[in-house]
Amino acid sequence: MRSMVLRSMVLRWLRVVCIPVLCVGAAVPLTRGQSAPSPDAPPVSNVPVDSSSTEETPRETLKVTSNLVSEYFTVRDKKNALIPFLTKNDCNVFEDKQPQKLTSFVAEANQPLTLGILIDTSGSQMNVLPLEQQSASAFLKRILREKDQAFLVSFDVGVNLEQDYTNNVRELDRAISKVEINTAAGGGSAGVPGIGQGPVPTQGAPKGTLLYDAVNEVSTHKIRSESGRKALILLTDGEDEGSVTKPKEAIAAAENANAIIYVILIADRGFYGYGNFGMGYSGDMQMRSLTEATGGRVINVGNNGKKLEDAFDQIEQELRTQYVAQYVPGNKAMDGKFRKVDIFCKDQDGDLKVQARKGYFAVGDED
């Protein structure tokens, strides 16, 4: 009799202690590849899993499937003055010579701006770097508004992210003031990491000014994923030495990123016989190809501080006097081919001069 009572008590204890444990185990069934938890493992939560919120769901909501094209541009009259008050009826957009139906046309003076400042810190900029630093800082203080973002990159024997995206003018100013000339003893053997996937290659041919590598790195890995208005401002003499990226590849990367590129040509006229950017100098022509393809332009300031300030003023005015025309192209094929875009505007006085990118590559969504 005593043994039966003891047995009954044991069974009652097992029901109280073991059954809840089994219930927890039932809520988290083991599947293939799982193992029983270690005795030292943290307790498993018995909170029901929300099946409507899986790992795949947010990834799908972030995927963009629309092939909406956004064309940012500025318009000038015959006297080269900016025109800020055009309407949808004043402009026509053609893609591969086919007229496109605009879904939106607005002036974008107050739309958030994503801005990258790229400073040439190779040896040829030794005497003009202080001018660049002073003018770039003043420019950012004027142009950045609450929803704008800017970052700073220097390029020489390497491509260096000096300051990541921020709206903090003090942080940008601090980063600009710390930029210094770097020649890596003139050979480039001690190149520094790039801003993309690992270091920009520095072996082989001597490196001096990785200008096209910088444009490619920034366009592909830094600014392409951003939306809205995007602009890159390069402070350089326009000469590239040692880039792996070819000029056409740099242009394609900027076009894919839908980034407007401005180049402020600045150099010490006495350095290495630059003179007046004369004999043997090809930077001007190369930079014009880069900027015209993306809707920007080249401003040559020599080594004149006042001209440099004026150049930043002009860029500020253009970025704050832009239009954006949006449309869904009639050609729906995402075949990676280049689509030529032409924009024509006119007012009561006739045709106007449009400054816009030359086209884009029809690239589908990335995985």
CB 152 within 8 Å of CB 162: yes
Of the listed ranges 11-15, 98-102, 258-262, 314-318, the one predicted with least confidence: 11-15
Euclidean distance between CA atoms 357 and 221, whole angstroms: 20
Q: Specify whether 271 is located in the same domain as 190.
A: yes
| Cβ neighbourhood burial of 36 (10 Å; 0-12, 13-18, 19+) | exposed
Can you give the pLDDT at residue 320? 86
pLDDT tens-place string over residues 336-350: 899 999 999 999 888
Buried b (16+ CB within 10 A) or exposed e, 113-126: bbbbbbbbbbbbbe
pTM given for the model: 0.74
Can you give the pLDDT at residue 287? 94
- Residue 183: band (very low, low, confident or very high) from pLDDT cuts 50, 70, 90: confident
Bridge partners of 116?
Answer: 151, 232
Q: Specify whether 123 is located in the same domain as 74.
A: no
What SS3 state is found at 143?
Answer: helix
Pairing of strands 102-107, 98-99: unpaired
CATH number of the domain to which 195 belongs: 3.40.50.410
Euclidean distance between CA atoms 366 and 363, whole angstroms: 8
Q: Name residues whose C-beta falls within 8 Å of residue 61's C-beta, 6 or more positions apart in sequence.
A: none
Q: Is residue 95 part of a domain?
A: yes
pLDDT tens-place string over residues 5-49: 444 444 444 444 443 433 333 333 323 333 333 333 333 333 343
Q: Please give the single-letter amino acid code of residue 299.
A: I
Q: Specify whether 203 is located in the same domain as 225.
A: yes
Can you give the pLDDT at residue 47? 35
Q: What is the domain count for the chain?
A: 3
Q: 3: which DSSP letter?
A: H
Q: Specify whether 191 is located in the same domain as 267.
A: yes
Q: Is residue 289 part of a domain?
A: yes
Q: Which domain holds residue 11?
A: 2-45
